[in-house]
Amino acid sequence: MQTDALVAIRAGKLFIGGEWRDAESGRTFPTINPSTAEPLTEVAEGDVADVDQAVRAARGAFESGAWPAMDARSRAKLLHAVADGLEARADELARLETMDNGKPLREARMFDIKESIECFRYYAGWADKIYGDVIPLPGPYLNYTRLEPIGVCGAIIPWNYPLQMAAWKVAPALACGNTVVLKPAEQTPLTALELARIASEAGLPAGVLNVVTGHGETAGAALVRHPDVDKIAFTGSTEVGRIIQREAAGNLKRVSLELGGKSPNIVLADADIEAAVRGATSAIFYNTGQACTAGSRLLIDESIRDEFLEKLAKRADGMRPGDPLNPKTRMGPLISQEQLDRVLGYIEKGKSEGAELVIGGDRAEVSNNPGYFLNPTIFDRVTPEMTIAREEIFGPVLAVTTFADLDEAIELGNKTDYGLAAAVWTQDVKKAHRAAHALRAGTVWVNMYHTLDTGSPFGGYKHSGYGRELGKYALDLYTQVKSVWVNLA
């Protein structure tokens, strides 16, 4: 086992009602460093009983005590204090994220941790600006609305952006006055535990944020089924999203789902080719392709195909994976053996269904490490019917298809069950907006890829889910409207 002072001293415990506790069963499970394939530490294996304790703590904190009594401006101050706490420990958190998830340290620091801090600051700013309307009605009435918290929110998050996904859910939920039970992914539980510690040190009252580590089918499912949870916010696979929607029906929980994607990245003939090549590379290889918004389908105008592919393959070759703690590394390993097997399976499917392998397709040797490293992979001559054009691979595997004109590009772009993101590269402002309007996706980028900001809404069309996180839109996910009538007659 790897020993590192950083690897949470408090790992092995759940955070419930302001206290660090063992799982009721006493069981733990290892969390693995994907770049060495070795366990980092043991984490408590929360289950039904622990989830129940956490929900009780969250209910208690929602109904009575310091939290409901706190005015919105004080809540804002607390969220700023959480952001300060994250900021003070940003380098450590980045290292922890890199060891638990495998992403390059530079990216963890510059994106994951930085964006998580921003997210807490942004919703700290909203906390005292969440209010209703006075509605002029006929009759001798005063009618006004209040935006009230929903109650106990369950947050179930994936392993690809562990702290950031926690922030996206916890920050707006708390800003709106809810309490939270957070279930991090079993592959990457460590930064969620640190978030709980930082929030508690910042003064967040006991029970307001609880963290139960554990597996999806046990701890996650218990949270989704719990009759005293009012809302579930989920990010993860479409398959589990469907299960959650069904299982949450018991007490009619509010549900918001941010699910998979198979996003088209469209390059028109008039695009700035160099910029589009750079964009297409990071679109698919950023985070080793383990991004719900990954630009996994590259659609290029047939007239620029040869030139574009040549440049793309060269650039991809320069992105071979390396040790994520090395500051020069641009791409780390996949998250797990399971994910590596899944992705290799898709690569085999690509070959057997007739796609042409341009580069990669094989495991990468990284300084004798047995980690889950895979070389950047590009398939050309992919048709829309092929499995690698339809299913979310969640790895560094790009499917390239050509088109004859913009109409065909849009048609191909929309030929998917998913609708999370899309991009178009062109110098023609008319074509850019035509594509942006016609593509059925929650985010469309023009001459850029992967940019997100806490101020701008994010979420899916079609099987990519519903509900919008980030921006002022997230407030809708964590509040409910009350109409108050006063008889003035």
Instruction: Give the nearest distance from C-beta 220 to ligand NAI in angstroms.
Output: 2
Long-range contacts, 338-346 (Cβ 8 Å, 24+): 339/290, 339/372, 339/394, 339/395, 340/372, 340/374, 342/393, 342/394, 342/395, 343/289, 343/374, 343/393, 343/394, 343/395, 343/396, 343/397, 344/374, 346/387, 346/388, 346/391, 346/393, 346/395, 346/397
One-character DSSP codes across 408-424: HHHHHHH-SS--SEEEE
Q: Which is nearer to ligand NAI, 403 or 418 (CB)?
A: 418
Instruction: Give the nearest distance from C-beta 293 to ligand NAI in angstroms.
Output: 8
Instruction: Give the nearest distance from C-beta 32 to ligand NAI in angstroms.
Output: 13
Q: Which is nearer to ligand NAI, 155 or 175 (CB)?
A: 155
Q: Which is nearer to ligand NAI, 156 or 409 (CB)?
A: 156
Interior angle at CA 227, CA 222 and CA 209, nearest 5: 65
How far is the CA of 240 from the CAs of 83, 226, 310, in angstroms?
A: 31, 17, 38
One-character DSSP codes across 116-138: HHHHHHHHHHHGGG----B---S
Q: Which is nearer to ligand NAI, 329 or 339 (CB)?
A: 339
Write down the catalytic residue from 119, 292, 392, 469: 292
Q: Which is nearer to ligand NAI, 315 or 363 (CB)?
A: 363
Closest residue to ligand NAI, judged by C-beta, is 216
Instruction: Give the nearest distance from C-beta 239 to ligand NAI in angstroms.
Output: 7
Q: What is the SS3 assignment for 155-195?
A: EECCCCCHHHHHHHHHHHHHHCCCEEEEECCCCCCHHHHHH
Q: Considering Cα of 186, then 187, then 189, then 192, what sign does the dihedral take?
A: negative
Instruction: List residues near ligand NAI by CB under 6 A.
Output: 156-160, 183, 185-186, 215-217, 220-221, 224, 235-237, 240, 243-244, 259-260, 292, 339, 342, 392, 394
Annotated catalytic residue 115: no
Q: Which tokens is 323 given? A: 């040790």
How far is the CA of 199 from the CAs of 47, 80, 155, in angstroms?
A: 23, 10, 16
Q: Which is nearer to ligand NAI, 243 or 357 (CB)?
A: 243
The C-alpha atoms of residue 319 and residue 334 are separated, in whole angstroms, by 14
Instruction: Give the nearest distance from C-beta 11 to ligand NAI in angstroms.
Output: 17
Annotated catalytic residue 292: yes
Instruction: Give the nearest distance from C-beta 292 to ligand NAI in angstroms.
Output: 3
Instruction: Give the nearest distance from C-beta 439 to ligand NAI in angstroms.
Output: 18
Give the other-Cβ count within 10 Å of 133's Cβ.
12
Q: Quick one: DSSP state of residue 462? A: G
Q: Which is nearer to ligand NAI, 81 or 477 (CB)?
A: 477
The C-alpha atoms of residue 13 and residue 212 are separated, in whole angstroms, by 9
Selection from 159, 61, 165 nearest residue 113 by Cα: 165
SS3 377: strand
Q: Which is nearer to ligand NAI, 45 or 186 (CB)?
A: 186
Write down the catalytic residue from 45, 97, 258, 469: 258
SS3 244: helix
Contact 194, 96 (CB under 8 A): yes
Instruction: Give the nearest distance from C-beta 259 to ligand NAI in angstroms.
Output: 5
Q: What is the CA radius of gyration of the chain?
A: 23
Query: Which residues does the annotation mark as catalytic?
Result: 258, 292
